[in-house]
Amino acid sequence: MLDLFTTDPSPDMRTIFVLSEQDLAAWKAEQPAYRGAWLTNMEFKAAAGEVLLVPDDGGEIVCAVVGRGDGAEPFVAGTAVHKLAEGVWQFDPGLGADDLSRACLAFALHGYRFGRYKEDKAPKAKLFLPEEVSADVAAIADGVFLARDLINTPPNDMGPEDLEASAAKLAAAHGADIHVVHDSALIEKGYTLIYTVGQASDRRPRLIDFSWGWADAPKVTLVGKGVCFDSGGLDLKPSSGMALMKKDMGGAANVLGLASIIMAAKLDVRLRVLVPAVENSVGSNAFRTSDVYTSKKGLTVEIGNTDAEGRLILADALALADEETPDLLIDMATLTGAARSALGPDVPPFYTSDDALAQELAEHAIAAADPVWRMPLVPAYDKWLDSSVANLSSTGSLPMAGSIMAALFLKRFVTETTSYVHFDIYGWANRARPGKPVGGEAQGIRALFRMLDQRYGRRVSG
């Protein structure tokens, strides 16, 4: 349970009211005269994120009001979290179950702070979670916090070995079975691309593989890009391009966050999580542009750019996942700048040939206020991946449609699984918004959890 939440109601619990500009006049009319006068005197307009503590006629704080504004910010209720006095608070029970769950989640998401390296002001208030609120609120918040913490951790403390330790800790917490292939054993088992990308770093590459759930349940496999720092390799990034490369393991962070939610909710699935974890470094033994390597799938790949390394490690992991033909295969990766150029930082594109899956994702993304957007796998562009010396090029022949080209490349390694989706996420909030402080961010995992929950349900016994 998060420190922000409590399930024990307090006799002196105070209430947070979330008001739109249209609701304000009616709410004031229902309150004691002094409350309405206080709001008027303090010029409270119910603008988005506006928070006002309201005293009784003796000066004691008895409630708080939060402005909803025009409703464009779905987690605006959370802006109250750092302005509340110490003690136990609750959101207005009259919000209704769905709005109440959203408000409670907003409280947690906005209250997040990454305090590993310096003290930060933690919220003083605790929020009461009533029974009618979704039991998943705390689990979802925990999963988002895990993803944020992993991304925010700097690369000196979040190398491949640290990512493995985090995955092992999560697996142990839920009784999952974990297996890790290290260093040269990757070559022996055919994961040549994973080894190749990480071979120049003294922080050795590895493939993290853990499983959880019931053998007779539908198979759901998550694959996350775990490039713990990306220098660009020999095609070296400029310093400005490296500034945020601690987040290049954001795909891994997000699938671990999603796995945390799935396991806590006990979804009726056989979950498998694959994380190829590497550091893309520069050295005399670094892989080169124009090198050719044989992948786990048996396809030979010509390297088009050493800074397009994420798709290489994903290719080997996806080939492994594809061998057991899961019912659903999901990969997440901070893969291309082209995705940001197309959709910006807040809306990750996804690619799939499964129209029913795409429709489900779109619907659940709206319901979860977790935006994603389907992009096309353009068949005619597939020829751009042709190579004169190998089965395919890692980057393609034309400097266009970069995110689509990366998705088409990955699709070559998934030949047996019929329901597969690739997410090209940013994994970062570069401006503060309600529920989203600046820093590492979970993207798409709340939408995915809603979809998985509706598809597969919960295991109640066995």
- Taking the C-alpha atoms of residue 318 and residue 412, their distance in angstroms, rounded to an integer, is 10
Q: What is the pLDDT of residue 140?
A: 97
**Phi then psi dihedrals of residue 322, to 5 deg:** -70, -25
- Residue matched to tokens 């500034």: 243
H/E stretch holding 227 reads strand 226-230
- In sequence order, the 6+-apart residues with CB closer than 8 A to the CB of 430 are 345, 438
Cross-strand partners of 273? 210, 222
| 230 close to 307: Cβ distance less than 8 angstroms | yes
Contact 409, 332 (CB under 8 A): no
CA–CA distance, 246 with 154 (Å, rounded to integer): 6
| Cα–Cα distance measured from residue 297 to residue 322, given in angstroms and rounded to the nearest whole number | 9
Q: Output the tens digit of pLDDT for each of the chain's 462 residues.
A: 468 999 999 899 999 999 999 989 999 999 999 898 999 999 999 999 999 999 988 899 999 999 999 889 999 999 999 999 999 999 999 998 899 999 999 999 999 999 999 987 778 899 999 888 877 999 999 999 999 999 999 999 999 999 999 999 999 999 999 999 999 999 999 999 999 999 999 999 999 999 999 999 999 999 999 999 999 999 999 999 999 999 999 999 999 999 999 999 999 999 999 999 999 999 999 999 999 999 999 999 999 999 999 999 999 999 999 999 999 999 999 999 999 999 999 999 999 999 999 999 999 999 999 999 999 999 999 999 999 999 999 999 999 999 999 999 999 999 999 999 999 999 999 999 999 999 999 999 999 999 999 999 999 865
Q: Using an 8 Å Cβ cutoff, are 224 and 255 in contact?
A: yes
* Cα angle value 198/200/205 (rounded, 5°): 25
CB 379 within 8 A of CB 263: no
Q: Which residues pair with 226 in a beta bridge?
A: 277
Nearest to 124 by CA among 174, 73, 64: 64
Q: Are 231 and 286 in contact (CB under 8 A)?
A: no
R_g of the chain, CA atoms, integer Å: 24
Q: Are strands 292-294 and 300-302 parallel, antiparallel or unpaired?
A: antiparallel
Q: Distance of alpha carbon 141 from its chain centroid, rounded?
A: 11
Note the pLDDT of residue 462.
Answer: 56
CA distance 238 to 244: 12
Q: How do residues 149-165 score in pLDDT, each as one tens digit? A: 999 999 999 999 999 99
| Active-site position among 28, 204, 311, 450 | 311
Q: What percent of the chain has pLDDT over 70?
A: 99
Q: Which of 83, 189, 237, 374 is catalytic?
A: 237
Annotated active-site residue 121? The verdict is: no
311 is catalytic: yes
Q: How many helices (H) and strands (E) does the chain have?
A: 14, 20
239 and 147 Cβ atoms separated by less than 8 Å: no
Beta bridge partners of 61: 55
- pLDDT score, position 123: 85
- Give me the domains of the chain, ranges plus CATH numbers: 5-132 (3.40.220.10), 138-456 (3.40.630.10)
Residue 131 has what pLDDT?
82
